[in-house]
Copies of this chain bind each other. A is one copy, B any other.
Amino acid sequence: MSPNGLPPDRLLPADPATRDVARRIYRSVQDQPIISPHGHVPPEWLAQDLPFKDPTTLLLSPDHYIFRMLHAAGVPLGELGVGGAELDEAGSRRAWAHLCRHWDLFLGTPVRYWLEDQLVDIFGVTERLSEATADASYDRIAEVIAGDNFRPRALMDRFGITVLATTDDPCDDLSHHAALAADDSFTPRVIPTFRPDKYLEPGRADFAESVTRLGEVSGEDTGDYAGYLRALEARRRYFVEHGAVSSDHSHVDVQTLTLDDGEASQIYAAALGGTATEQESTALRRHMLGQMARMATDDGLVMTLHPGSYRNHHGPTLAAHGPDTGHDIPVGVEFTKGLADLLGRYGTAEGFQLVLFTLDETVFSREIAPLAGFYPSVYAGAPWWFLDAPRAIGRYRAAVTETVGFYRTSGFIDDTRAFCSIPARHDMSRRVDAGYLAGLVVEHQFEEEDALRIATDLVTTIPQKAFKL
């Protein structure tokens, strides 16, 4: 047992010789600072540095990994503080008890692994969660988060996070980021990410409203297609000026095509007027992904793609609790044909970078790695969301490494709004990568010194290069 009571070898390979090597590799990177180039922590937490409200609001309600499983077990989302429902103290305590009572559900999942790591390492809760320990664990966590050393900024320091990217609406004024950047007492980089999905989907009911707002914020007339492009360019520049290094795109597919200006203008006008067909709206969305790439060759933002999520699968839950409430479900995706147009135009453009993420594992060996092994612009993104877990990370490494090695990958991203889980997630990734590297050492694919160098690069130069940090 380590001083904190967690087994020091967790997630390392079972074979003793491999574990020995893996342990040395892991130890060499375990204390490296955390670079988090993609995630969803609200920037106001850091800007305002307010204390967290209670254990449930901190750990459960914002974490769809947790509450979706409790929902599957029959707990109504409303009782978990999901989708804007405000819980009072008694409600928060009841929600926490739901989690404790269903703790066995999470056996074998990374959710349990991450939360146990936090409970022990951050909150000093060493008794296992259960109905019997629900109140005591709640009280203990509540006591810890009330302390001044548990404010968000103190945690950034304690967690060793040197770069934290948030995900932001193009119309956001980025005032929190500006405030943090202006504060000399706060040294980590907290940088925005340009996430324009809703402004690029002409088929959405709120498209006209969205681009009108985009026009107001940018000072460009988005009444026509040319102004719409200028507005997007302006907001991208604004983000760059506020430290952004990437734009993020999460449409259901990554098909791309290029319309000529006349077609694009016409569909844009039809979309504003509500008369665009579904086919036209889809075409314009696919065209606009290419436009994002074109703009990236000018302003230098790295382009990251997170496709293949069927959003809001359960209509009644959307109606009752809103989006992002645990029922986004993956679908198959296709990159090779889809990106042919975009990569034909910008795939070898100076400075252009494109990081491909997926929820569909089948494309790791079939499409993403082969693309990243030819195009200087393409990087194989780390396993994401449902795949951000020990066995899945192992499958990712096994699927991509033999085609593109380690240096054409993105490095780990935590992609989380569960702030306190960030160290546990990065630690998990470092352990699993150490195990994968150790396996290659023991099978004599390379030397231990190579593995040590790669492990360090995976948490330093590799994400720095992929995200231009």
Interface residues of A in 349-373 (CB under 8 A from B): 359-362, 365-367, 369-373
Asked if A135 is at the interface (CB within 8 A of a chain B CB), the reply is: no
Considering the complex, which residues of chain A in the window 402-434 have a beta carbon less than 8 Å from any beta carbon of chain B?
A: 402-408
Whole-angstrom CA separation of A10 from B446 in the bound complex: 10
For A, the interface residue count at a CB cutoff of 8 angstroms equals: 90
With A348-B314, A445-B113 known as contacts, the answer to whether A387 contacts B365 (CB < 8 A) is: yes
B330, B392, B402, B407: which contacts A105 (Cβ < 8 A)?
Answer: B407
A108 CB within 8 Å of chain B = yes
Stretch at the interface among A35-43, A68-76, A155-163, A195-203: A68-76
Proximity string of chain A (1-14) to chain B, C-beta cutoff 8 Å, 1 when within and 0 when not: 00000110111111
Query: Is B14 in contact with A439, judged by CB distance below 8 angstroms?
Result: yes
The answer to whether A392 and B386 have CB atoms under 8 Å apart is: no
Kindly state the separation between the CA atoms of A13 and B444 in the bound complex, as whole angstroms.
Answer: 10
How many identical chains are in the complex? 3
A370 CA to B327 CA, complexed, in Å: 8
Known: A109-B405, A367-B329, A442-B14. A343 touches B313 (CB 8 A): yes
A212, CB-defined interface residue at 8 Å: no
**A104 contacts the other chain (CB 8 A):** yes
Q: Which listed residue, B7, B310, B372, touches A337 by the CB 8 Å rule?
A: B310
Q: A401 in the interface, Cβ–Cβ < 8 Å?
A: yes
Query: Contacts of A405 on B, CB cut-off 8 Å?
Result: 69, 104-109
A402: B residues at CB distance < 8 A: 108-110, 386, 389-392
Whether, in the assembled complex, A143 has its beta carbon less than 8 Å from a beta carbon of chain B, the answer is no
Are the CB atoms of B108 and A329 closer together than 8 Å? no
Give A371-392 as 1s and 0s: 1 = Cβ < 8 Å from B's Cβ atoms. 1111110100000001101111
Decide if B360 touches A366 in the complex (CB within 8 Å). Answer: yes
Distance (Å) between the CB of A255 and the closest chain B CB? 13
The chain B residue with its CB closest to the CB of A10 is: B444
Q: Quick check: B14 and A373 within 8 Å, CB to CB?
A: no
A326 in the interface (beta carbon within 8 A): yes
Which residues of the other chain, B, contact A74 by a CB distance below 8 angstroms? 376
B68→A374 contact, CB < 8 A: yes
Q: Are B392 and A365 in contact (CB under 8 A)?
A: yes
- 12 residue pairs of the A-B complex, CB under 8 angstroms, read A11-B445, A69-B404, A107-B405, A107-B454, A313-B344, A314-B343, A329-B367, A329-B370, A331-B367, A332-B366, A361-B365, A362-B362
Q: Which residues of A contact B (CB under 8 A)?
A: 6-7, 9-18, 68-69, 71-74, 104-110, 112-113, 310, 313-317, 326-327, 329-332, 334, 336-337, 340, 343-344, 347-348, 359-362, 365-367, 369-376, 378, 386-387, 389-392, 395, 398-399, 401-408, 439-440, 442-446, 450, 453-454
7 closest residue pairs by CB, A with B: A389-B402, A10-B444, A7-B444, A108-B401, A391-B398, A14-B442, A14-B15
